[in-house]
Amino acid sequence: MLSYFIPNAVELTVIEDDRNSKTITCNVIISLHEPEVLLSDAVIEELEIEILSPRTGFWRFKGEDKVRRSI
């Protein structure tokens, strides 16, 4: 599988109407076979995201009660 690794390529922030995550710097791997953006467990944890239901897309920021839906 052909892919490209680019260290420290992007700054990533989750932006919601009422709250933003902190900004982190991430490595990027570009795959010619994967059309979706994938986040590693480490990145999800660093952004303080808690996945409640991966298939239906329900999640929340760590420590909050508000359940959010992926878009």
Amino acid at 40: S
Contact call for residues 12 and 24 (beta carbons, < 8 A): yes
Domain that holds residue 9: 3-69
pLDDT confidence band for 71 (50 / 70 / 90): confident
- Share of residues in the chain with pLDDT > 90 (%): 87
pTM of the shown model: 0.85
Contact call for residues 31 and 5 (beta carbons, < 8 A): no
How far is Cα 37 from Cα 62, in angstroms, rounded to an integer? 22
- Share of residues in the chain with pLDDT > 70 (%): 99
pLDDT for residue 1 is more than 70: no
How far is Cα 47 from Cα 42, in angstroms, rounded to an integer? 9
DSSP, res 21:
P
pLDDT for residue 49 is more than 70: yes
How far is Cα 7 from Cα 10, in angstroms, rounded to an integer? 9
Query: What are the tens digits of pLDDT across the range 15-35?
Result: 999 999 999 999 999 999 888
Number of domains in the chain: 1
